[in-house]
Structure 1
Amino acid sequence: MNDPRPRTVLVIGGGASGNTVTVLLRRAGIAVELIEAKPDWNVLGSGITLQGNALRVLREVGVWDKVRESGYAADTVGLATPDGTVVHVQRNLRTGGDDLPATVGMQRPRLQEILCEAVRESGATVRLGITAEELLQDSTGVTARFSDGTEGRYDLVIAADGVGSRTRAMIGVNDKPEPTGMAIWRVPAPRPEGVERTDLVYGGPCYIAGYCPTSENTIYAYLCEDNRDRASIDPASYADEMRRLAAGYGGIWPEIAASIADPAEVNHTRFERLLVEGSWHRGRVVLIGDAAHVCPPTLAQGAAMSLEDASVLAELLGKEQDWGSLDTLLTGFYERRIGRVRRVVDASVQLGQWLLDGVRDADAPGLMSRTLSVMKEMP
Structure 2
Amino acid sequence: MTQPRTVLVVGGGAAGNAVTILLRRAGVAVDLIEAKDDWNATAGSGITLQGNALRVLRELGVWEEVEASGYGFGSVGITAPDGTVLHVQDDLRTGGDDLPATVGMQRPRLQQILIGAVRASGATVRLGTTAEILGQDADGVAVRLSDGTEARYDLVVAADGLGSTTRAAVGITDRPEPTGMAIWRIAAPRPAGVVRTDLAYGGPAYIAGYCPTSDTTLYAYVVEANRDRTTIPPESYAEEMRRLASAYGGFWPEITAHLTDPAKVNYTWFDRMLVEGSWHRGRVVLIGDAAHCCPPTLAQGAALSLEDALVLAEMLAGADSWDDALLQAYHDRRIARVRPVVEASVQLGQWQLDGVRDADIPGLMGRTMTMLRELP
Question: Given the two structures, how large is their TM-score scaled by the length of structure 2?
Answer: 0.99
Map 1:40-79 onto structure 2 (within 5 A): 40-43=38-41, 44-79=43-78
Aligned equivalent of 1:197:
196
* Cα distance between partner residues in 1 of 2:106 and 2:229: 24
Residue 39 of structure 1 is aligned with which of 33, 37, 40?
37
1:260 maps to 259
Shift of 1:5: 2.5
Residues 93-139 of structure 1: CA distance to partner in whole angstroms, max 9, x if unpaired?
00000000000001000000000000000000000000012341112
* 1:39 to 1:272, Cα distance in 2 relative to 1, 3 A: same
Q: Which runs of 5+ in 1 are unaligned?
A: none
Q: CA deviation at 1:4?
A: 2.6
Q: What is the rounded CA distance, in whole Å, between the counterparts of 1:158 and 1:347 in structure 2? A: 27
Counterpart of 1:279 in structure 2 is 278
Question: Hey, what does 1:376 align to over in structure 2?
Answer: 373
CA distance in 2, matches of 1:8, 1:18: 15
User: Which residue does the alignment assign to 2:25?
Assistant: 27
Q: 1:331 aligns with which of 315, 328, 333?
A: 328
Shift of 1:258: 0.6
Contact in 1 for aligned 2:54/2:99 (Cα 8 Å): yes
Q: Are 2:214 and 1:215 equivalent residues in the alignment? A: yes
Query: Structure 2 counterpart of 1:373, which letter?
Result: T
- Could you report, residue by residue, the CA deviation over 1:238-275 in whole angstroms, capped at 9, with x for unpaired residues? 00000000011011111111111111110100000100
CA distance in 2, matches of 1:310, 1:376: 17
Q: Any stretches of 5+ residues in structure 2 without a counterpart?
A: none
Deviation beyond 3 Å, 4+ runs, structure 1: none
Counterpart Cα distance in 2 of 1:9 and 1:305: 21
SS of corresponding position for 2:20: helix
Secondary structure of 1:298 counterpart? helix
2:152 corresponds to:
153
Whether the 8 Å CA contact 2:175–2:273 is kept in 1: the answer is: yes
| Residue 298 of structure 1 pairs with residue 297 of structure 2 | yes
Alignment-mate amino acid for residue 264 of structure 2: E
Q: Distance in 1 between matches of 2:201 and 2:242?
A: 18
TM-superposed CA distance for 1:378, in Å, is 0.3
Corresponding letter in the other structure for 1:371: T
- Aligned counterparts of 2:229 and 2:133: Cα–Cα separation in 1: 31
Cα displacement (A) at 1:229: 1.1
Percentage of matched positions with identical amino acids = 72
- Answering whether residue 364 of structure 2 is matched by residue 367 of structure 1, we say yes
* C-alpha distance in structure 2 between counterparts of 1:295 and 1:214, whole Å: 22
CA distance in 2 between partners of 1:90 and 1:351 (Å): 17
Query: Secondary structure, in 3 states, of the residue corresponding to 2:296?
Result: coil
- Once residues 303 and 42 of structure 1 are traced to their aligned partners in structure 2, the CA distance between those partners, rounded to angstroms, is 15
Maintained 8 Å contact 2:133/2:141: no
Identify the residue that residue 346 of structure 1 maps to in structure 2: 343
Q: Which residue of 2 aligns with 1:111?
A: 110
**RMSD of aligned residue pairs (Cα, Å):** 0.8
Measure the CA separation in 2 of the matches of 1:221 and 1:238.
14
TM score, norm. by length of structure 1: 0.98
Q: Is the 8 A contact 2:76 2:91 kept in 1?
A: yes
Q: CA deviation at 1:322?
A: 2.7
Give the conservation status (yes or no) of the 8 Å contact 2:9–2:16.
yes
Task: Identify the residue that residue 96 of structure 2 maps to in structure 1.
Answer: 97
